[in-house]
Structure 1
């Protein structure tokens, strides 16, 4: 299957993408991984992306699109893929449509993970990260540390990253609503969108997603 995964920040896209890609035996392609791979390998596209990122600028659509097209053309993606974080806006969605049409293939589904805005804020703003090791992450509601403000693993101080502050989360949500959410209508016009609730346990959301995608399999 060829799938685009979309949803607001905090919807659990990365987690669901990993599970779904494994279940469906297709590669999980994320923009973050694309950038890291191209930059670490020193490709021309990676050098272009790095120059923009080093200057504190957004990587232009044409560079992101070129990276995605290159990755989708690799052998493991011939029979399908799951795109996570791309397309990020309507112009990227239109470019993806053209790229797939040129290869005489098309998307099977656009999986829309739906989460109430209040829950998104709660999920992200409640995160607390260890100053000693950023891989140690807790949540004030869902996975609190045994002792408030102290990492269970190493005893380091837990703090709220600036990226996780409520003001930053609401700004990210605004960007999502204005830039990314319109792609849902773009794909709805092609009868590709399946919307599911992303509330509940990870396994429950995965099963919900697989059931919804089954109806779209060709």
Structure 2
């Protein structure tokens, strides 16, 4: 099962990815984690990434796709993987497609957790207020201003990958405003249909 999870910050991708990992026994691949692991392991591509990061630059799509290429070649990713937070741009989606096709691998599905963004902002504001009321620190991600900036970045850069995957017939939209369990059930229904077609 080779999946991509798409959706704005706060849509529940991380929660659903954790459940998919448990159900299918496939790894969730976060580009940030993979980047850090490649740098720590001093792989050739990790060393290249370290050089760019040390210089204060942003790691290129080419390097990120190279890190994904190495990672999906590992033993635990042979049955599949979940990409969460990548691709973030159209160029990354195209580079990922090209790399997978060179490896003879096809994606099974791209799941978009679609949410009402205004309600999402409201949810984050509530979460921040609840944390303050309990005397807890507000997570940086839950700061409403930071969250709005992340949402703007998603709408500007990442939302464009949705029509790209819709055109290829891989996209399934899941209502991310349902309860966590209902979203999980909707995803399970999509994936079990895929399993039947394999």
TM-score higher than 0.5 here?
yes
TM-score normalised over the length of structure 1: 0.80
2:14 matches 1:14: yes
2:124 matches 1:124: yes
2:197 matches 1:212: no
Q: Distance in 2 between matches of 1:193 and 1:71?
A: 24
Q: Distance in 1 between matches of 2:57 and 2:122?
A: 29
- Counterparts in 2 of 1:48 and 1:164: CA distance versus 1, 3 Å: farther
2:67 matches 1:67: yes
Alignment length (residue pairs): 196
Structure 2: runs of 5+ lacking an equivalent: none
What residue in structure 1 maps to residue 135 of structure 2?
150
Q: Distance in 1 between matches of 2:115 and 2:56?
A: 30
Q: Distance in 2 between matches of 1:39 and 1:127?
A: 34
1:203 to 163, 166, 181: 181
| C-alpha RMSD over aligned residues | 2.1
- Counterparts in 2 of 1:127 and 1:45: CA distance versus 1, 3 Å: farther
What residue in structure 2 maps to residue 95 of structure 1?
95
TM-score normalised over the length of structure 2: 0.88
What pairs with 1:133-212 in structure 2 (closer than 5 Å)?
Answer: 140=130, 148-151=133-136, 158-159=137-138, 161=140, 163-212=141-190
Structure 1: runs of 5+ lacking an equivalent: 129-138, 152-157
What residue in structure 2 maps to residue 23 of structure 1?
23
Moved beyond 6 Å, runs of 4+: none
Q: Once the 2 structures are TM-superposed, how far is the Cα of residue 165 of structure 1 from its aligned partner?
A: 2.9
